[in-house]
Amino acid sequence: MNKYSELIREKYAQIGSNDLGYIDDALGAVVTVLNEIVDNQQVPTELREKAAYAAANLLISDFDVK
């Protein structure tokens, strides 16, 4: 967990303690957020490209993204 940002670790702890709800379709939520990043023209192109690549890999993988 230490390789992830402080904010991710904070959200992880909040979900684990039931302060935040768990998302059943977590992969779908990830693809949705990555898509929002890709569509946001204020995000630097390099980050948008990385987000698009990550989303495409999730969609083509064996995971069941709804």
21-59 pLDDT tens trace:
999 988 889 999 999 999 999 999 999 999 999 999 989
pTM: 0.81
Within its chain, how far is the Cα of 15 from the centroid? 15
Q: What is the DSSP letter of 6?
A: H
Say how many C-beta atoms besides its own lie within 10 A of residue 37's C-beta: 15
The pLDDT of residue 65 is 60
Percent of the chain with pLDDT over 90: 76
Contact indicator for 20, 54 with CB cutoff of 8 Å:
no
- Confidence class for position 1, pLDDT limits 50, 70, 90: confident
Residue 64 has pLDDT above 80, yes or no: no
